Structure 1
Amino acid sequence: MEQLQVPRNRQQKPFRYEACWLLKEESSKLVEEAWRAPRKTVNKMQGTIERLKNCKSRLTQWSKKTFDIAKREVCAQMDYISTLQERNTGQLTEEIKQAQQEANKLLEVENIKWKQRAKQRWLSEGDRNTKYFHQCASDRRKSNVVRKLMDSNGQAVSSKEGICALFQEYFTDIFTSSNPSKPEACIASMEA
């Protein structure tokens, strides 16, 4: 018996505006052009839907082209910086700084994109009472707790009161002086 290969329908990803698009002037120009394109319908609601679809289409195509190139540019820029650093004997310092600034701009775009993606995941999965949400909350709570400290004698202190006393003692020592010399000079320098 012959089996038929039925292609699976891939779910189309929902369109989301990428925050990193704001870093490129072309994105706002694309939206304006798409919005000002002549409408094919007379109905205002259908015209608005048509414009939104046009914006979506143009932004999606532009983003694929622009940001796929950006990934390659980051790699090329990092290679360029490595080459400059290997050849540098002191005369290429400015060129290296400029290349690093350019690489930082490119990396910032990637950083914004991934921050937004992480936030989207948190918003979609974190609002539900899921294992993922509880794990994130538990991990954060664990990393934000001081369970024990070592005192100046090398003894472990784990009681809440003892830890509070150690913190207080530590910061009191830092911000007080046991042997102030010429406090007038210090105060005068702060007033100047």
Structure 2
Amino acid sequence: MLTHQLDAYPNTQLRGELRGLSDHCPLTVEDRRIVQGPRPFHSLDSWFTHEGFLRMVKEEWRRLGDVQFIDKLKVLSKPLGRWHKQHFVNVTEKINKFKDEIKKVDDMVSSGICDGIVEARRKALVRCCEIWYARQDIHWKQMSRSRHAKEMDKNTRYFHNIASARERNNWIESLVINERLVRNHTKIKVAIRDFYKNMYH
């Protein structure tokens, strides 16, 4: 019956996969047709979180002048690709760099070097890191919706990223020190360090 139905679709191929220890084997149906024509235009939701994205699009769109809408989209794909490579390639690497810089600041605080400049630098680094984490989450949410059937490894990676997201939420925003609520991260770190130093002295 299945072979008869496949005759109606000559561009398909039925293949039996390895059965392993089972007495059944999975069947894979492949469509061997080559999809021709231009790739559809698509954008990434994470682009819209970048402050320079809309400005770049406006400048490129204005530069193209009086061109039909579809043709503009085709031409726009090239500068979009260049912009994406410049700003959004290796997002994980960007996040790791911010985390390394935060660790360096934390090491300075642990060694007793803490002032307003150090605290301001740490806040700025944390803010940048949070922005790139949010962009990464937006990207994987979009990928999981659009490619979950085609690229399950991406879907797995997305859910792994969601599970790992708690790492950046495990931080102390405020702490009661000597019956006073303290929000200064440097003072919180020093208080925690001193607490455990006294405990294990």
Q: TM-score, normalised by structure 1?
A: 0.48
- Point out the structure with the larger strand share: 2
- Point out the structure with the larger helix share: 1
Larger Rg: 1
